[in-house]
């Protein structure tokens, strides 16, 4: 009898301990206190914002502006409109631009590749103006181009007045918009992204360090850009990758170089500790097969336009559920990539994401007799239903 009681007590302890451990995996402390006017942490793959405050409020972005300047350079390089070895003539305006600089000289010609490094690593205002004039003819025309790109990226609360981030009326952005821009820089032009992690750059025999202190403190951080003006305070957009998960952090309006680094570390550490990204389906993965009416083929394969991943609190992956809603009637012709339903992912009954379910191939119309027969069948099916 005593053995039975002991065994039962042991089982009860194990049961309670197991329950406690399972519960503990879902526990999450409140978000950290952040000394910044605005901040945000976003998953770079899913776009999921896991932590934010005043992320849609407009503030002066200071040299974070140069993220768009470098983005446009990378965009134009990718299109073949300009080349890394292009020689850029340095104007008097570029040479005289105040603030941080890479020390290019008026009247000289500088390789575009050097200017791009000067913008990203040294935060050169002179380099930014030189590039703007080279690409668009003038800095004001380049600012118009910056705003066009911002609109295309969905940066709805951003307006640029110059290529540098020097104080100007009507020059503003938000933590959210800057995270969207960072995501585009990382994903669209990976061949250039390595520049953002370089710690030093030497031009004109002047060696300058990258102002992003996290590049020295955290080996998982590999970008992106710092900024500072009296109006904007000290700002930093950082990105780090750990265990296959990449996060983007934005802090705006901190009170020192040290503070922007510490606050960025704080929110990145919290997000990496308590959130996880799970890849659910690949872009070319077959998810369903649906009937096609009046088609040369009787079926069509359905999948996704791009890979699907979700970012959720750690320890909750087993509570994810995915359902597929497929159109009841799919008629030929079927166009590859066209939407014929949706994949819906929920966590504890609440929607996490909903993405289109699309055709993975074309299905042409069938012969006239088949089309007539299927039309008759659909008619009688509609009467029954």
CA 159/CA 142 separation, integer angstroms: 12
CA 378/CA 38 separation, integer angstroms: 56
How many helices (H) and strands (E) in the chain?
A: 11, 16
Structure tokens at 260: 């922007």
H or E stretch at 69: helix 66-79
CA 184/CA 42 separation, integer angstroms: 13
Q: Are 289 and 74 in contact (CB under 8 A)?
A: no
**Active-site residue identified among 38, 52, 63, 91:** 63
Q: What is the C-alpha radius of gyration for the chain, rounded to an integer number of angstroms?
A: 27
Report DSSP state, residue 250.
Answer: E
Active site residue 70: no
Active site residue 66: yes
Structure tokens at 117: 């490094």
CA 356/CA 343 separation, integer angstroms: 6
**Active-site residue identified among 66, 117, 183, 213:** 66
What is the phi-psi region of residue 39: left when phi exceeds 0, alpha when psi lies from -120 to 50, beta otherwise? Answer: beta
**Active-site residue identified among 38, 91, 100, 123:** 123
CA 40/CA 33 separation, integer angstroms: 12
Active site residue 123: yes
Instruction: Give strand pairing partners of 342.
Output: 325, 356
Strand locations in 243-349, DSSP E? 245-254, 275-281, 288-291, 299-303, 308-313, 320-326, 339-347
CA 340/CA 88 separation, integer angstroms: 50
Nearest to 108 by CA among 18, 179, 204: 204
Q: Is the peptide bond before 333 cis (omega within 30 degrees of 0)?
A: yes
The verdict on whether residue 54 carries a ligand-binding annotation is no
* Residues recognised as catalytic: 63, 66, 123
Residue ranges at the known binding site for substrate: 225
Residue ranges at the known binding site: 225
């Amino acid at each position: 009898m005593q053995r039975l009681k002991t065994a039962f007590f042991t089982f009860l302890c194990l049961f309670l301990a197991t329950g406690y451990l399972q519960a503990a995996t879902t526990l999450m402390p409140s978000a950290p206190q952040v000394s910044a006017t605005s901040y945000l942490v976003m998953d770079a793959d899913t776009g999921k914002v896991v932590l934010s405050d005043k992320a849609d409020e407009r503030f002066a972005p200071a040299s974070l502006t140069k993220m768009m300047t470098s983005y446009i350079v990378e965009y134009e390089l990718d299109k073949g409109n300009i080349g890394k070895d292009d020689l850029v003539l340095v104007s008097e305006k570029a040479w005289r631009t105040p603030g941080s600089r890479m020390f290019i000289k008026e009247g000289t010609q500088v390789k575009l590749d050097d200017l791009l490094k000067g913008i990203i690593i040294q935060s050169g205002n002179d380099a930014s103006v030189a590039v703007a004039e080279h690409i668009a003819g003038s800095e004001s025309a380049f600012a118009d181009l910056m705003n066009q790109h911002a609109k295309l990226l969905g940066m709805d609360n951003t307006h640029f007045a110059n290529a540098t981030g020097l104080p100007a009326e009507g020059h503003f952005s938000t933590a959210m918009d800057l995270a969207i821009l960072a995501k585009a820089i990382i994903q669209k032009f990976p061949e250039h992204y390595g520049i953002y992690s370089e710690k030093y750059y030497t031009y004109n025999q002047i060696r300058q360090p990258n102002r992003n202190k996290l590049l020295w403190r955290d080996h998982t951080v590999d970008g992106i850009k710092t900024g500072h003006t009296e109006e904007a305070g000290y700002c930093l957009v950082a990105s780090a990758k750990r265990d296959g998960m990449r996060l983007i952090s934005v802090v705006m309006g901190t009170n020192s170089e040290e503070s922007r680094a510490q606050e960025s570390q704080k929110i990145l550490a919290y997000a990496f500790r308590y959130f996880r990204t799970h890849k659910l389906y690949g872009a070319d993965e077959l998810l369903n097969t649906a009937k096609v009416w009046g088609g040369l083929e009787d079926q069509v394969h359905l999948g996704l336009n791009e890979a699907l991943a979700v970012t959720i609190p750690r320890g909750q992956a087993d509570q994810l559920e995915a359902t597929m809603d497929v159109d009841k009637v799919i008629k030929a012709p079927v166009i590859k990539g066209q939407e014929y339903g949706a994949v819906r992912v929920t966590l504890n009954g609440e929607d996490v994401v909903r993405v289109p379910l699309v055709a993975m191939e074309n299905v042409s119309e069938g012969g006239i007799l088949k089309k007539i027969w299927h039309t008759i069948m659909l008619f009688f099916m509609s009467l029954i239903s």
